[in-house]
Each structure stands twice: as structure tokens, then as C-alpha cells.
Structure 1
Amino acid sequence: MAEGGFSAKARDALAAPGTLFARLRDAARPSWEAYVAHPFVRGLTDGSLPEAAFRRYLTQDYLFLIHFARAYALAAFKHARVADIREAAATLHALIDHEMKLHVAYCAQWGIDEAAMEREPEAEETMAYTRYVLERGLAGDVLDLEVALAPCVIGYAEIGARMARDPALRVEGNPYRAWFEMYSGAEFRGVAEAAIARLDRLGAARGAEARWDDLVRTFDSACRLEARFWQMGLAAAG
């Protein structure tokens, strides 16, 4: 049984069995669980995460979002269908003109301004994950890129859904309540569900079955890099 008394599969809240994402998640289960059930996430859930860890995460996440936007610009370039180009461009627009502004506003509540985040050196863990995602997109096609992005795009919604079902969840007085409410909310779940559907379309069009082992390696590596990103935050707390 997994932490919290639920089996790992019982805690999966997104992606119907048989979808490409669900199959990738099952194939990379140890790395997936190390990511979505990381001690950093447990600290967010019960409110015990040291503030220094969260502040470090917030600053590096701002830098991460810059490269995340670059990844969707690359996705637009890699696509051939106009509808897919539009979708990637819309995501890029949402990241730059909406999500980053929300992130900056949220960080301001923690006393972190945008100028300070821009001056912050990238952590090795931030560089490792973001450059890995971009490398997979540059070396491969848009399916490789989307698989590398999936642990972040879909994983955060899975984490939010798990937190909502976790008996250890502390809502009142939890300093990370706003974070939990964002990633467990309907809006972000919709983003994740769209990514799951997009993976299925891309997989069918671009021969996922013939490339299965490579896609699993990409997904597994991205999960491990996500876990390292959490660990980077924890390390700041000493």
C-alpha cells in the first residue's frame, strides 16, 4: 500500500486506463510515485513544509516557467496542423501573459518580487529538467516533447487531486492552501485533461507503439527530474 493507506493505482485521479498517459504512468510507476508523493508534496499537504523550502521553489519555478514557455514555442514549430499550432500558441500566450503574472502576484504575497526572481541564478535541478525537456523536443518530434512535458502538466493536477483526497490534508491555517486550491481546481484539471487527450492524438498519429520503449524512458526521466526539483526546494531548508 502507498502512503496514506491507498494503493498507488487507487490514488490515480486522472487518465482512464488505456490512455497513453495512463500507460506511461504505469510503466514508470516507481519514478512517478517518487515524484507525486515526494516529502515536499506531503509538506504542502499538511502545512509542515518549511517556508525556506517553499520560497526556494517559488523562485526557481519562475525561472522554470520561462523555459516552459519556450517549450510550447518549440511545440508550435514542431506541429504541422494549423489547429495544433494554434493550440500550442494559445498555451504559450497563457503562460506568458496569464500564468507568469499570477505567479509573480502570488510570490509578492511571500515578499518575493519579480526583479529578485530574474536575478536568481538557476539551480542545477532547474537547468537539468528544463534543458532535458527542450532537448527531447529538439532531438525528437512533438510527441517526444509532449511526453517530456506530461509529468509537469498532468502531474500537478494529479498531485492536487491526491491532496484533496488525502486524510492528512490541512486546509484551515495551511500556509500553502492557495497552492493546493489552484492545482486541485477545475481550471487546472481541464488543462491536464486536454494534455491527456492531446497525447492520445499524437500517439496515434506518430506511432507511439513502435516507439514505446523510448517514450517510457523519456517519461521516466522527466518524473525523476521533477522529484529532484522538489528535493532542490527541500535542501534550502537545511
Structure 2
Amino acid sequence: MAAVTYTLPFAPGGFIEYLLARPDVAVAWKKHTEHVFLERLADGTLPIEAFKYYLIQDYLYLIQFARANSLAGFKTKNLEEIVRSAEIVLHINREMSLHLGYCAEFGLSKEDVLKVEESQACTAYTRFVLDTGSSDDWLALQVALAPCLIGYGVIAKRLYSDPKTLREGNRYWKWIENYAAEDYDEAVRLGIALLDEHAQKVSPSRIEELVKIFIHATKMEAGFWDMGYARI
């Protein structure tokens, strides 16, 4: 039997670039990365109660994010990827400790955070990711997680370099700095490289399935900002 050959719509290493350039992705991506919640965070006019609620829900999200990465370790048979998943979970655990320290700057203790019910937006988003990981393969799970990892990097870089972003006297400037930092940028680069590598090995029809997962997860990310902005 002759081998099946096909041509992917992107060059090697170009999956994410291709993905973000697609018109169907671009609409959802813009709503996620240029949300009014972020614009008001950048100019310092975001009400503090809205940001505090976002911080609480983001911590609850990280718990599920750790579960998703634990699931990623289970979904692969590659030892290096199993180890990487374990390392990510440990990194999330450290990030959660830092997150609680940041919450404390806004008067929120761990007890304050944990007594708040998970929002519907947080539940919908994280369970979509976990369901994708449970019912589909390792790559689908990574694609479902990608709008968070990549999106925060894109958002922070844009706000950090935007001259209209308020720095002095902006209580949210530290949040922007954290996600614009070199260590987070490196995590984004590694994540993109991993997705690019694995996407090169699948068929064009599978790429279309992954695109749909990415768009839906991106809409869920925008819904997370909607959740925070609804507190205004």
C-alpha cells in the first residue's frame, strides 16, 4: 500500500503563526487579548473589587490548570513529556504561592480566596479543558491550554510596550510586569515550540479539529475577562 501524503497549510514551525493569522481565530483572539477589562487595567481605572474578584477566580482556575497538566502527563507515553508535565505542575504550585502573596497585597488571605464559589465562567472554561483532555489526545489538551499561556504573554507584551499604559501610580502595573517578564516569555516560547513540533505530525483534517478547540478555548478566555468586568 502506498504511503498517504498530504500538505499542511503552514511551514515547519509555523502552526501557531498560521493559527493566529486565520480570520476565524482572529475574531476570538482580539476579544480575548484586547478586552476592555485589560484596557482599564492598563490605564489604572479598573475598580479594585473587579480585580480582586478576578484574582480569586484566577487562583481557583490554577487549581484546575494543575489538574489539566497532571492529565497531560497521563495522556502521553513519552517520558520526557511526562516529566515536563510534572515540572509544570510544580511550577504552578510555586506560582500559586506567589499568587497568594499578590492577593495579600489587595487584602485577600488564602481563606478569603477559598471561601469564594468558583464562578460559572471559571467552571465552564476549566471543565472544557479537562473534558478535552479526557476525551481527546495529548495534543488536543495542549491546544485547549494554549490560549491561556500564549494569550497572557501577548497581552502583557502589548500593554508593557504601549506608551498609553499607566506605570506610575497604577496598582495593576505589577501584574503587567509579571507576565511580561523573561521567565514567562520563555515559558511561552517553549510552549509554542512544542505545539509547532507536534502539529507538524498530524493531517490537515486534524489541524481543523485543533483549530476549533483553540477557538472555543479562546472564547472561554474572553469569558473570564467578561466575568471580571461584570463586577464593575
TM-score, normalised to structure 2, is 0.91
Match of 1:150 in 2: 146
Letter of the structure 2 residue corresponding to residue 219 of structure 1: F
Q: Describe the shift of the 1:186–1:155 C-alpha distance in structure 2 as closer, same or farther (beyond 3 A).
A: same
Verify: 1:63 aligned to 2:54, yes or no. no
SS at match of 2:16: helix
Which runs of structure 2 are paired with 1:64-213 in the superposition (5 Å)? Answer: 64-96=61-93, 98-205=94-201, 207=202, 209-213=204-208
Partner Cα distance (1:108, 1:149) in 2: 27
Compare CA radii of gyration and give the structure with the larger one.
2
Q: Which amino acid aligns with 1:102?
A: L
Q: Given the alignment, which residue of 33, 52, 57 partners 1:36? A: 33
> Is the CA contact (8 Å cut-off) linking 1:53 and 1:234 kept in structure 2?
yes
CA distance in 2, matches of 1:39, 1:17: 35
Partner deviation per Cα, 1:26-82 (whole Å, 9 max, x = no partner): 220000000000001111111111111101100000100000000000000011111
Matches of 2:13 and 2:197, distance apart in 1: 13
Letter in 2 for 1:140: D
Residue identity over aligned pairs, in percent, reads: 40
Structure 1 residue 209, shift from structure 2 partner: 2.8
CA distance in 1, matches of 2:112, 2:207: 42
Deviation at residue 85 of structure 1 after TM alignment: 0.7
- How much has 1:18 moved relative to structure 2? 5.9
Q: How does 1:17-28 map to 2 (within 5 A)?
A: 19-27=14-22, 28=25
Question: What is the number of residues matched between the two proteins?
Answer: 220
* Distance in 2 (alpha carbons) for counterparts of 1:149 and 1:83: 19
Write the distance in 2 (CA, Å) between the matches of 1:135 and 1:169: 37
CA distance in 2, matches of 1:146, 1:66: 17
2:14 and 2:39 mapped to 1: Cα distance?
A: 27
Q: 1:204 Cα shift?
A: 2.4
Matched residue type, 1:232: M
* Preserved CA contact (<8 Å) 1:19 1:196: no
Aligned-residue offset at 1:166: 1.6
Matches within 5 A, 1:222-233: 222-233=217-228
**Residue equivalent to 1:13:** none
Q: How far 1:19 sits from its partner (Å)? A: 2.0
Distance 1:17 1:160 in 2: 27
Unaligned runs of 5+ in 1: 1-15
Q: Hey, which bits of structure 1, 4+ residues long, moved more than 4 A?
A: none
Tell me the TM-score normalized by structure 1. Answer: 0.89
Partner of 2:3: none
Structure 2 residue matching 1:120: 3-state secondary structure: coil
